[in-house]
Amino acid sequence: MVKKGILEDVGCPWWICWSFDNPLRRLVHNPYQMLKDLVDPGNTCLDLGCGEGYFTIDMARLAGPAGRVIAVDLQEHMLKVLRRRAVRAGVSDSIETVVGSPKALDIDTRVDFVLAFWMLHEVPDKDRLLREIAAAMKPGARFLLVEPKWHVSRESFALSLEQAEAAGLIRVEDRPARLSMATLLTKTDI
């Protein structure tokens, strides 16, 4: 199922995705290893800026048949590749693809886990998006925010974390993620 939103030409172009979304990347970022203690069976997950589904497939496997992954990207081409990969991996029934809007998150489902991997720096209004992410999270839900070290400064990442805290999220811990800055946050309100 594809839900359409307002589409604008922003973010990483689909044609360059192969350079970092390939089997060799598993040596640096293994999705299963990075997510296995964050996604539980039956969870509803949100993969923001999912691209071609590098993390989405393992997230769906971890959530299991009773779980669900909402995979959001601004580019239909990325989602088309993700849907093909999901069919080959046998997890297509657990994944909903959404053509996102840079104007609003437009997710009407409450989620247990959110992943924003190397995408927040591409968002013009980070404060708005972080408030919308917090609103979509169930109490106790977790949010893994990961940004690339070579592209995002420590100061900019710290500002994003301050914005996340202002949105009602609490920092739990910094997480290991090669070539990246990564922080786990959780939802505070009921």
Task: Indicate the pTM of the whole model.
Answer: 0.86
Domains and CATH numbers, the chain: 2-6+30-187 (3.40.50.150)
> What is the pLDDT averaged over residues 89-98?
97
Please tell me the predicted confidence (pLDDT) of residue 131: 96
Q: 129-135: long-range contacts (C-beta < 8 A, 24 or more apart)?
A: 129/105, 130/160, 130/163, 130/164, 130/166, 130/167, 130/169, 131/167, 131/168, 132/104, 132/105, 132/107, 133/46, 133/48, 133/105, 133/167, 133/169, 134/164, 134/167, 134/168, 134/169, 134/187
Q: Which pLDDT band, with edges at 50, 70 and 90, does 24 fall under?
A: low
For 133-163, how does the pLDDT look when each residue is reduced to its tens digit (9 = 90+)? Answer: 999 999 999 999 999 988 889 999 999 999 9
Whole-number pLDDT of residue 28:
58
pLDDT of residue 23: 64
Q: What is the pLDDT of residues 119-129, one digit of tens each?
A: 998 888 999 99
Summarize the confidence of residues 41-55 as an average pLDDT: 94
